[in-house]
């Protein structure tokens, strides 16, 4: 079965430091790829997505991610962390088809230290 | 414009009782999804509605779970004879349609079964 792996359930960075959240998917068929952010007691908000075209995608709040087919990865980065980035981040994939349902990783809780 | 709304935001119920969770999608969105988020886990797909087509129920964990949608509007997720393992956050998402890859999520309903 297709799956999504997020390495590190908890990541802590200092304010101003690089943020790197890892995501790998299991299928040999390239999926559509997504990163969502969830702030406490809120729903998920789409940060960015890759469907086709340029493999480096830019999203909101200064985040970007690069699709690397050879590594089956879609890691999320941000050059300089801000306190407001503290949240839980979910990587998800979709294989389109009749349902277009999302398959999620287990999430990474990002803490930003002052 | 209004986003996806869900009610109630929190629900505490006794084991064995039935519960109904409601989702109001974004107006004009023909696709609607229900997901479940258990503590420490990613989101699991439950069910998908697309217009007047037969729903994709492949993610429902047992026959105690059912969902309905009236046309392209409100959906209700019903859990009968609730069990403690049903405790989770139930999230609803909607999108423009089958070919739209971006799903918009509601804030969720936190269900606690005591």
Which residues lie below 8 Å from residue B53, measured CB to CB, with a gap of 6+?
Answer: none
Residues A85-113, mean pLDDT to the nearest whole number: 91
Smallest Cβ–Cβ distance between A98 and the set B56, B101, B107 belongs to B56
User: Nearest-CA residue of chain A relative to B50?
Assistant: A99
pLDDT digits (tens, 9 = 90+) for A55-98: 999 999 999 999 999 999 999 999 999 999 999 999 999 887 77
Q: Which residues of B touch A102 (CB under 8 A)?
A: 33, 35, 43, 45, 103
Smallest Cβ–Cβ distance between A101 and the set B48, B91, B100 belongs to B48
What mean pLDDT value characterizes chain A? 92
Q: How far is CA B38 from CA A41, A45, A72, B43, B44, in A?
A: 14, 18, 26, 7, 8
For residue B41, give the DSSP letter.
S
Strands (E), A1-114: 4-5, 10-14, 19-21, 24-25, 32-38, 44-50, 56-58, 64-68, 73-78, 87-94, 103-104, 108-113
pLDDT tens for each residue of chain B, 114 residues long: 589 999 999 999 999 999 999 999 999 899 999 999 998 788 999 999 988 888 999 999 999 999 999 888 899 999 999 999 999 999 999 998 766 678 999 999 999 999
């Amino acid at each position: 079965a297709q799956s999504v792996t997020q390495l590190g359930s908890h990541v802590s960075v200092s304010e101003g430091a690089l943020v790197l959240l890892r995501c790998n998917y299991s299928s040999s068929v390239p999926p559509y790829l997504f990163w969502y952010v969830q702030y406490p007691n809120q729903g998920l908000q789409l940060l960015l997505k890759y469907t086709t075209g340029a493999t480096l995608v830019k999203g909101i709040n200064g985040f970007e991610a690069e699709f690397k087919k050879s590594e089956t990865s879609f890691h999320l980065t941000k050059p300089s962390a801000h306190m407001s980035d503290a949240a839980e981040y979910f990587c998800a994939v979709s294989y389109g088809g009749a349902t277009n349902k999302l398959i999620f990783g287990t999430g990474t809780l990002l803490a930003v230290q002052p | 414009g209004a986003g996806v709304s869900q009610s109630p935001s929190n629900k505490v119920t006794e084991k064995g009782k039935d519960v109904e969770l409601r989702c109001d999608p974004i107006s004009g969105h023909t696709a609607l999804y229900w997901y479940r988020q258990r503590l420490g886990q990613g989101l699991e797909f439950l069910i998908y509605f697309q217009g007047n087509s037969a729903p994709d129920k492949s993610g429902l964990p047992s026959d105690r779970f059912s969902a309905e949608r009236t046309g392209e509007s409100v959906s209700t997720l019903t859990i009968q004879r609730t069990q403690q393992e049903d405790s989770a956050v139930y999230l609803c998402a909607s999108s423009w349609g089958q070919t739209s890859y971006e799903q918009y999520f509601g804030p969720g309903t936190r269900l606690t079964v005591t």
